[in-house]
Amino acid sequence: MKKNGKTLRKLPVEPGGIDVSISHLLTLVSAMLKKAGRGNDAREIEYRVRNSSSFDEAIGIICQYVELIENR
């Protein structure tokens, strides 16, 4: 993902299960972005996901910021 001419690294996120809700995932991703010093991205993703029109669109937005990884 590029922002202001900089390439931002996607953070790896382990959602915690196949049936995780978008709300739970958004909370997890937002906290991880804030912890990584990317508070502006956290606010942006929250706004974009909450205003998305479908599950697929919300997941697509989340995947622009983080890499979802499987539980091991």
Find out whether 69 and 14 touch, Cβ atoms under 8 Å: yes
Cβ 69 vs Cβ 53: under 8 Å = no
Position 55 in a domain: yes
8 in any annotated domain: no
- Domain membership of residue 6 (yes or no) is no
Q: The tokens of 46 are what?
A: 């929250």
* Greater model confidence, 4 or 54: 54
Print the domain residue range for 61. 13-68
* pLDDT, tens digit (0-9, with 9 covering 90-100), for 14-58: 666 556 788 988 998 999 899 999 999 999 999 999 999 998 999
Instruction: Look at residues 69, 70, 66 and name the one whose alpha carbon lies nearest to residue 31.
Output: 66
The verdict on residue 42 lying in a domain is yes
Let me know if residue 4 belongs to a domain. Answer: no
Nearest by Cα to 26 from 38, 8, 44: 44
The answer to whether residue 36 is domain-embedded is: yes
How far apart are alpha carbons 5 and 52 in whole angstroms? 25
18 in any annotated domain: yes
Number of domain units in the chain: 1
